[in-house]
Amino acid sequence: MGLYVRGIGDGLYEAYVTDNYETADESIPENSKLGERVAVYEVEVEGVSDGTMDFDFVRFIGETSGDGALRIVESIYGDPENGNLLIAEEDNEHATSGFKVYDFDGNYQDRILAKGSILGQSEGIALVPGKGGGGFWICTDQGMRQNIYRVFDRQSLEFVGAFEGSYTLNTDGVWFCPEPILPRYTEGVFYAVHNDGNVAAFDWREVKLALGLD
């Protein structure tokens, strides 16, 4: 469902992959079998010959009990600078729906962003970088009638506001481009899928002004 890649050395990367495996009758496994919801691989850009790639399985991530259990996983995205790995939990049948915070070693950090606030489903995650490890997380609350982008402080993980588009609905994937795209997007642009068929672009400068963010 989701993929996040981070560099760990010269030509080496770690890839985090979310996996919604099911039982034979296509239901969610019991909690004791949820420990493999996120698979981690080490990827080498150049394999045995030029133009190839090698990878090795490293470990699985996922709690099997308590609030950190991953039942229906979606997007995943990391912040190595602050040591946080966000995993979208979209199982609305449980009170732990939201964006669960893990570290890169696979330890649940006893924190769920937007817990108790999700109206639709937890979906796309984007990181807005700032100076000194600052910035913001944008977490998608996907809906066909109301589609909300919830914003959290990158370091404290506290909720700081939310925004939505006039027409943008049913968002899965998102991306944030921090580079200025002149003349319009001088402070970066947030991209969001609209209903599996289009992509909307939000001027981050306008979002910051509307939410009163520095």
Q: Give me the DSSP letters along 36-77.
A: TSEEEEEEESS-SSTT--EEEEEEEE-BSSSTTB-SSEEEEE
| Element holding 88 (H helix, E strand) | strand 84-89
Residue 29 DSSP label: P
Domains and their CATH numbers in the chain: 3-211 (2.120.10.30)
Give 207 or 93, the one with higher predicted confidence: 207
Q: What is the pTM of this model?
A: 0.94
Asked if residue 53 has pLDDT above 90, the reply is no
**Are the beta carbons of 112 and 101 closer than 8 angstroms?**
yes
Measure the CA–CA gap between 110 and 195, rounded to whole angstroms.
Answer: 32
Mean pLDDT across the stretch 16-28?
Answer: 95
**Are the beta carbons of 71 and 42 closer than 8 angstroms?**
no
| Element holding 204 (H helix, E strand) | helix 204-211
Give residue-wise pLDDT tens across range 98-138. Answer: 999 999 999 999 999 999 999 999 999 999 999 999 999 99
Specify the pLDDT at position 48.
65
Specify the pLDDT at position 174.
97
Specify the pLDDT at position 64.
93
| Element holding 208 (H helix, E strand) | helix 204-211
Q: What is the mean pLDDT of the chain?
A: 94
Give residue-wise pLDDT tens across range 130-180. Answer: 999 999 999 999 999 999 999 999 999 999 999 999 999 999 999 999 999
Mean pLDDT across the stretch 14-43?
Answer: 95
Specify the pLDDT at position 146.
95
CA-based angle 177:121:154, to the nearest 5?
40
CA atoms in the 13 A half-sphere facing the CB of 6: 13
Asked if residue 47 has pLDDT above 70, the reply is no
Residue 76 burial by Cβ neighbours in a 10 Å radius (0-12, 13-18, 19+): buried
198: nearest Cα among 180, 173, 181, 179: 173
Asked if residue 185 has pLDDT above 80, the reply is yes
Which pairing describes strands 159-163 and 73-79: parallel, antiparallel, or unpaired? unpaired
